[in-house]
Amino acid sequence: MYDSFKPGEIWLDNNGVHVNAHGGGILFDDGRYYWFGEHKTEGENGNFANVGVHCYSSRDLYNWTDEGIALAVMPDSSGSDIEKGCILERPKVIKNNKTGQYVMWFHLEPKGKGYKGALSGVAVSDNITGPYTYIKSVRPNAGHFPFNVLDIHYGDSPSLGQRFDGGSLPGNIDTLNILGRDMKGGQMARDMTLFADDDGKAYHIYSSEENSTLHIAELSDDYLSHTGKYGRFFPGRFMEAPAIFKRNNKYYLMMSGCTGWAPNQARSAVSDGIFGEWKELGDPCIGDSMHTTFHSQSTFILPVQGKKETYIYMGDRWTPQNAIDGRYVWLPVRFEEDRFFIEWKDQWNWENRDN
């Protein structure tokens, strides 16, 4: 039994097996936490989706019970979008209180096509632990421009027919007009998260426009599609790995730069509304001398139930040469006015998180 967190260490579940839920997120439901994440396998091939989305449950966040595979990939040669060997990343689950269903969204790349697809997949279940039924994959908001678009995006796109490497661009993001290039077929969507607000509205937040710009998109009332209302933020800043949370009626984002599996310096931002105006706050990591987000990448920031002003930074320490050995970096979040900060701790629990 665990009674503390040890960031970066092997974390065993109830069966004595290292928790296998990478790039994940947590949903609190009926007195229990549910952790959904990518199930990795051994070796470099383990970076592909060979199994699916794993689910674990816990009452105290220290000790986790294996609930099995919530969403399984389909067999080889099935022709499914989620066929074994596809890329299925950063699954997040939220509950729709109107329908009673649990809705999962994830970044999806069809098998054998690298990262060219930039799709978002959605699955649904009546039970929180699954099994989830895969519904579809889309590029979000086809045929719609964001509400905060510049006039230039309505014109011709000089990037029509071009693809870029996802970490840089050969010119200005607005001049290239990648947004206009993709308007008809839908916007690119890679690293992503979900957020359900207090009023029941839900949002899909994802890296778009060749990873150069973050989109925040409203979901339909059933959370299964996009409404066409969305905004583009931080154009040209190349932010991925978004994690969002709300505190005192303000919205906060934590993100990383785009350096593949290699960790980099974190970014943060705050806004009075989900659709902005977003103000960058800089690196929230205190004492991170290597500027690598404590050798991790953000995936989720969890508000802890029943503990006022208690939030947990959840990060992944990727090991792409042996994907199954990826570790988890969970650290307490503290606040100073409208900013949040994260400091390294070798070991911590609720009682000593501020020491």
Helix, strand, or coil (residue 350): helix
Q: Cα–chain-centroid distance for residue 137?
A: 16
| E strand or H helix that includes residue 181 | helix 178-182
Residue-wise pLDDT for 103-154, tens only, equals 999 999 999 988 999 999 999 999 999 999 999 999 999 999 999 998 888 8
Residue-wise pLDDT for 146-159, tens only, equals 999 988 888 889 99
**β-strands 267-271, 250-256 pairing:** antiparallel
Residue-wise pLDDT for 216-252, tens only, equals 999 999 999 999 999 999 999 999 999 999 999 999 9
Q: Which of 341, 338, 317 is nearest to 327 (CA)?
A: 317
Q: What angle do CA 276, 279, 282 make, to 5 degrees?
A: 145
Please say if the pLDDT value at position 204 is more than 90.
yes
Q: Is the dihedral of CA 151, 153, 158, 164 positive or negative?
A: positive
How would you classify residue 287: left for phi > 0, otherwise alpha for psi between -120 and 50, otherwise beta?
left
Q: CA-to-CA distance for 273 and 188, rounded, in angstroms?
A: 24
Q: Exposed, middle or buried: residue 199 (CB in 10 Å: 0-12, 13-18, 19+)?
A: exposed
Helix, strand, or coil (residue 25): strand
**Within 13 Å and on the Cβ side, how many CA atoms surround 315?**
33
Residue-wise pLDDT for 252-310, tens only, equals 999 999 999 999 999 999 999 999 899 999 999 999 999 999 999 999 999 999 888 89
Average pLDDT over residues 65-86: 96
Give the C-alpha distances (Å, rounded to integers) separating 214 from 187, 193, 209, 243.
Answer: 11, 11, 8, 12
